[in-house]
Structure 1
């Protein structure tokens, strides 16, 4: 074992003891002091390990403010260092994420004390869900510079699952902005089915069609085919979760399934025919027209009006959908 490894292990042992004794504030100051020392010495790996271990220790002890601070130090150091997105580096982020508590466990401690404010539960304000998602999206920012699309999809799915697990149907819209970028359409389908069960039976097709169009709307030219495939996987998973029942037999559902075929065939003519034929069904929700216009732009090269009207609606929609990247 190297001298460096011995030194950091001793440091972590002392810090674990402080946390175990309940000296959370003191431990936090020690973490930050030693972390700064490692950064000044360019001991990057040691600084990563310290931030990871510190964040996990504090989060598992319920010290959310302390743990989140150290978690953000870890991912910010990755960005600053342009650290390679190796499996080891990614696993550090995933380990920290797994230490975040479920918000409904009531109290939200600040270093050395406990706050029992209602908005600390995550149910009223989304905290600490908000901070967990911020941490994961900072990870996405790093991965976009140094990693792969698959790694980014994984973190989006982790964010979506955490939002859904903690907030349920009340957070479904928020979770959706991450599910549509994630790597598990099965997870998205499970959440979607749960929300459909809370709504009206005659709106099931709206839930499904909106989900498909949102997946397509965030596609980029390089990943358009993959998003199309994701829609097909989502529809298949929905059928499975419905006990093998077919998708709703409605005009809107027919439009959605035929649209996927038109996009696969890169057929403007078929897509325009579908829009005309199913226009009454599309009028059920104004959001559908806006999503379709964006899909046409990405998949078929049909540009929306540059000013006012649909152009502004698409701009507003995409700002909302892409806010998940922030």
Structure 2
């Protein structure tokens, strides 16, 4: 009896797979989407997580590439749900490849895109006390996608939660050259460095500072720098590196506030309003 039931389930899945294949070949993507969802529930009930993940990823790619945005995004969201339900270990396969690939194929104006990203980041930090806001490599890949889309505010946001200080600095140089005031050249990197420090990300703060000050054509090599704020940031990084100061949000921002009060702040409010960050 048990054997016959199992055989029946296998045949049932095979029939749905055959119908799915026919729907895809005929270009009937609505029906194909329904077949994918049917298989999703069957595989999930049987706990065939590996087969299900492969099915959903391939299906989402096919639908998105054929401009079936809502259906493809739906399968992408289901894929992340399976990763969570199955207790899948966070791996490079998904963090570096599959999740960024799906995100890049979902168009920016699709509402489900934000849901997919939020769920993907939440899964990527599962079981980790260190990456509570999402895996830094996933943030990095998402930042690069936003950058290509010219969504500078979101690209900057995700770079701040990554460990790619060089990428963040390169982005900031581009933003400042395109949209910033000349007098804001130091403020762009100062704000980013202070935010990295607030996130307890010392090494990335250092990388971003050194990359920005060496790449930006309007900054003469230092230290010392001509601009006082850059010297302050350089000394702050040295002090934090040597554990000479307590690395807390209050300490960092109070230090910055004291210096900021002594300099003239341009009308774009620390270079943020024109970037769409504030």
- TM-score norm. by structure 2 comes to 0.75
Structure number, greater radius of gyration = 2
For residues 34-82 of structure 1, the C-alpha deviation after alignment (integer angstroms, 9 at most, x for no partner) is: 1111111111111111111111111111111011100000001111222
User: 1:256 is matched with which residue: 228, 233, 241?
Assistant: 233
Equivalent residues of 1:190, 1:241 under 8 A apart: yes
Aligned residue for 2:206? Answer: 232
Equivalent residues of 2:165, 2:206 under 8 A apart: no
Between 251-260 and 61-70, report the one with greater CA deviation: 251-260
User: 1:145 is matched with which residue: 126, 143, 147?
Assistant: 126
Aligned residue for 1:204? Answer: 185
For 1:46 and 1:212, how far apart are their aligned partners in 2? 44
Judging changes above 3 Å, is the alpha-carbon distance between structure 1 residues 194 and 17 closer, same or farther for their aligned structure 2 residues?
farther
Aligned residue for 2:3? Answer: none
- Does residue 77 (structure 1) correspond to residue 82 (structure 2)? The answer is yes
| RMSD of aligned alpha carbons | 3.7
Q: Secondary structure at the match of 1:145?
A: coil
Judging changes above 3 Å, is the alpha-carbon distance between structure 1 residues 181 and 30 closer, same or farther for their aligned structure 2 residues?
same
Judging changes above 3 Å, is the alpha-carbon distance between structure 1 residues 97 and 148 closer, same or farther for their aligned structure 2 residues?
farther
User: 2:167 is matched with which residue: 179, 187, 191?
Assistant: 187
Equivalent residues of 2:60, 2:72 under 8 A apart: yes
Judging changes above 3 Å, is the alpha-carbon distance between structure 1 residues 241 and 268 closer, same or farther for their aligned structure 2 residues?
closer
Judging changes above 3 Å, is the alpha-carbon distance between structure 1 residues 260 and 24 closer, same or farther for their aligned structure 2 residues?
same
Q: Any stretches of 5+ residues in structure 2 without a counterpart?
A: 1-6, 271-276
Count residues with an aligned counterpart.
252
For 1:240 and 1:13, how far apart are their aligned partners in 2? 58
For residues 159-190 of structure 1, the C-alpha deviation after alignment (integer angstroms, 9 at most, x for no partner) is: 22222221x2xx32332221111132222122
- TM-score norm. by structure 1 comes to 0.65
For 1:14 and 1:237, how far apart are their aligned partners in 2? 54
Judging changes above 3 Å, is the alpha-carbon distance between structure 1 residues 36 and 283 closer, same or farther for their aligned structure 2 residues?
farther
Aligned residue for 2:221? Answer: 246
For 1:148 and 1:86, how far apart are their aligned partners in 2? 16
Q: Any stretches of 5+ residues in structure 1 without a counterpart?
A: 104-121, 220-226, 289-319, 322-326
